[in-house]
Structure 1
Amino acid sequence: MTHSRSPWYYIPTLYFASGVPYIIINTVSVIFYKKLGIDNTQIAVWTSLLYLPWVIKMFWGPIVDTYSTKRKWLIYTQFAMFCCLGLIAFCLQLPNFFFISLAALTVGAFISATYDIATDGFYLLALSPEQQAFFVGIRSLFYRLAVIFGSGLLVVLAGQLEGYLNNIPLSWTISIGFSAVILAILFIFHRLTLPLPDTDKPRQLQATNNIPFWTIISSYFTQEKIIFILGFILLYRFGEAMLVKFASLFLLDQPQAGGLGLTTSDVGLVYGTFGVISLIAGGILGGLVIAKYGLKKCLFSMALALNLPDLFYVYMAYTKPSLTLVYPLVSLEQFGYGFGFTAFSVYLMYICQGEYKTSHFAISTGIMALGMMLPGIVSGYLQPLLGYPLFFSLVCLLTIPGMIILFFIPLTEEIQHTSSENSNNS
């Protein structure tokens, strides 16, 4: 095992292995539950709660730091994630699949969040500062490829198998089982290839107690205009967070239920492939625009780019367009989401300054995950009550508070976009 092994051997696969479980737990689960007959309210509420581990992961981050090495945490969590995905694939064949699979997804969410902590820690320990800067874009690219693999390829595979086997549960068992096999291969690969950095050692307990956790927490929540900062994090994509939970359900629902009646494979291509590629392109352009003009000048226009394309779903809900038109409308909405979300990511980095910036960023991303979880739960009750046309109209109205609060948040200096390493959760 060499200490000087090139990061090209393991950084791409580490972040690919980070993206696959996240997208299956938070996005693909919505699709396979829909295809297996679970109603929209249960899907939206329970899958939104799966964001919880990413909301609270900062509380057990010190445990990953204190006990064992980052390398061991990586290896063990990858193996545990393989077991969870294997269990999910198996239990889809059972009559009470919903409860068992949801329990496995919940455990998997905690494992995946822990893996993310260990991966980022290992990244900082195994790479030199120059390598860290160079591989920021590489890790982001392979994370996004994992998103396309999960929400695109796996969904298309399940859709093709549905037509070939005429057995929806078996089709999804094979598809999710395939992702489990991929993680098993990555587990073996990383077990054999990950280097052993000299600095990857458990911290001493007394060293971690030098800075009390509550000191870090209080320093975050005593920032200037913290109420407006929290409002921004929770409201900036409130409407989008409601829409994203129902986008694939709307595409899958039959016309008599108000949806477009697309096939599973169509959704994998429209939303999980072309949509994700558009989201990535929007994020790249957003980074270039902020780098050129600065965040302060761009923030409001980027918020408009994030929110205005939600009107496309209102249009589709009322007119039921053909698949030929659905492709560009969904792609444009996702492009706007990627473009506007870049400003959100950069602002989170902007407010995390001072000696506790890493911890502050973890708190911000936890609140960001809460800002995805709560609207998703609310949407689960509203959509069946209102129907898709009124629901998407309400989504558009609920984007307004997030844009109003932009005029009150602290942003007194121009900052340049220095990295695009965030984020899951789009």
Structure 2
Amino acid sequence: MKAEKNPWYWIPILNFASGFPYAIIISVSVIMYKNLGISNEDIGIYTSLLYLPWVIKPLWSPFIDLHSTKRKWFLSMQLLISIAFLIVGFTIPMNHFFFLSLAIFWVAAFASASNDVATDGFYLLSLSKDQQSFFLGIRSTFYRLSMLTGNGLIVIIGGYLETEFGDKTKAWSYTMIIVGLLMATITVYNLLTTPVSENETSEDAVAQQKDFITVFASFFKKKQIGIVLAFILLFRLGESQLMKMLTPFLIDLKDAGGMGLTTEDVGIIYGTFGVIALLVGGTLGGIAISKHGLGKWMLPMILIMHLPIVGFILLSHFHPENTIYIYLVVIVEQFGYGFGFAAFLMFLIFVAEGESKTSHYSLATGFMALGMMLPGMISGYIQEYLGYGNFFIWVLIATVPGVLISRFLVFPADFGKKTTPN
């Protein structure tokens, strides 16, 4: 597909629209439920189960490949997500709001996973390999920026409304309605800016003629598939647990081992300096791979991504009174995440290379989601058993298997490097 519109117009916001609902469903729901009185154990189990649509999305990704255009898919799914968030806002004041809102979040999660499949396919078919490498950092940054918009701006709004109304239920009801309206606005923008034509290459056309079983089976015939899957499943073993318990840690009172911050404090910390650090890290990560290739940067990027967990270990043991230390830890962690995660995304693109690359990329990200869901489900129990201090030490240890496995991966050292014209 040759995009008749400048990629700078649509890549940032299209990927923002992919990450934003994920942030609300997976991350902001944790903050919301924590403030509405749900226990850490229940938060860990039920919000982790919301990962399931991303785990099993490869089962219906061939259907998306074979029916209609990817643009129609992601626009219709984004509209459905907008409606779902509005409905969640209206369920919060109701009895049994926890399970009612979870059910709607499930609908939004399936729509969001489908949106991801269509968006990924649109990206892979729209750009040359050089462009994919160049825009990888931008794509990753705006995806992560959308998550920080949830954990930052949306949480700030929720915290402000908590103070304004003096009623957390009313505050989060209004917040989710605002989220739905924002998602609807993003959908309209993508309708107006994304290229309309989708002229796939002959390779993609042949791949689409294959049946699901052939497409599915061909993924497991790739070289080193056992090691590749182990790496994808274990790479985020630590991060999956960190993401679920980090917000409870920041909000819980110091008597409970937390940092005692308000909801608005958490939103400000992640929505200001965290955003800047992420933008810088993500952009530099994409540029580094584009200049030197994945081979040079794989291990350094993985280490830069994981080592900032040490900062949360220190916070949980010393509980500094000055919030500047929390800002410093978040800045370092967000920069490391933005810079390091670019390597993982580029490796997934390598795994998806060849025929049926949209479906294969979806399979790879599905296994990634499984690696996030299972550890996240038990993270609340592990945290309650170990306490926050020892929990963060465990999280750091959990990053080791992914680092070790990465040393056995075989891929071209210059993969992702921008080729220079003769």
Instruction: Report the TM range for the smaller structure's normalisation.
Output: 0.7 to 0.9
Query: Partners of 1:311 and 1:180 in 2: how far apart?
Result: 36
Change (3 A) 1:145 1:231: closer
Cα distance, 1:73–1:415 mapped onto 2, change above 3 Å: closer
**Partner residue of 1:408?**
408
Query: Which digits, 9 at most, give the CA deviation of each residue in 1:7-60, with x for residues without a partner?
Result: 777655444333321211111111111111101111112111111111221221
Q: Would the aligned equivalents of 2:65 and 2:359 in 1 still touch at CA under 8 Å?
A: no
Residue 303 of structure 1 corresponds to which residue in structure 2? 302
Q: How far does the alpha carbon of each residue in 1:306-341 deviate from its partner, in whole angstroms, 9 at most, with x for none?
A: 222111111111111231211011211222222222
Q: 1:244 to 1:294 in 2, by over 3 A?
A: same
1:203 alignment partner in structure 2: none
Give the direction of change, closer, same or farther, for the CA distance of 1:222–1:316 in structure 2 (3 Å limit): same
Provide the C-alpha distance between the structure 1 equivalents of 2:185 and 2:171, rounded to a whole number of angstroms.
21
Closer, same or farther: CA 94–54 of 1 in aligned 2, 3 Å:
same
Q: Distance in 2 between matches of 1:34 and 1:350?
A: 39
Tell me if structure 2 keeps the 8 A contact 1:44–1:377. Answer: yes
Relative to structure 1, the CA distance from residue 225 to residue 78 in structure 2 (aligned partners, 3 Å threshold; closer, same or farther) is closer
Indicate the percent of aligned positions where both proteins have the same amino acid: 45
Structure 2, gaps ≥5 residues long: none
Deviating more after overlay: 255-264 vs 110-119: 110-119
Q: Distance in 1 between matches of 2:38 and 2:411?
A: 44
> 1:5-154 maps to which residues of 2 (within 5 A)?
13-121=13-121, 142-154=142-154
Larger deviation: 159-168 or 399-408? 399-408
TM-score by length of 2: 0.86
Report the alpha carbon displacement of residue 122 of structure 1 after superposing the two structures with TM.
5.0
Question: How many Å separate the matches in 1 of 2:34 and 2:398?
Answer: 26
Query: Which residue in the other structure is 2:372 paired with?
Result: 372
> Which residue type is aligned with residue 254 of structure 1?
L
What's the counterpart of residue 255 of structure 2?
256
Indicate yes or no: 2:181 matched with 1:217.
Answer: no
Number of residue-to-residue matches in the alignment: 411
CA RMSD after TM alignment? 3.0
- In structure 2, the partner of 1:247 is 246
Tell me the amino acid that sits aligned with residue 147 of structure 2.
Answer: V
Normalising to structure 1: TM-score of the pair? 0.86
Q: 1:171/1:300 Cα in 2 relative to 1: closer, same or farther (>3 Å)?
A: same
CA distance in 2, matches of 1:208, 1:405: 31
Task: Specify the alignment match of 2:173 in structure 1.
Answer: 173
Retained in 2: the 8 A contact 1:287–1:417? no
Letter in 1 for 2:262: T
CA contact (8 A) 1:124 1:132 kept: no
**8 Å CA contact 1:248, 1:271 repeated in 2:** no
Counterpart for residue 281 of structure 1 = 280
Cα 1:262–1:375 shift into 2, 3 Å: same
Match of 2:349 in 1: 349
Instruction: Confirm or deny: 8 A CA contact 2:352 2:361 kept in the other structure.
Output: yes
Q: Out of 99-108 and 142-151, give the one that drifted further.
A: 142-151
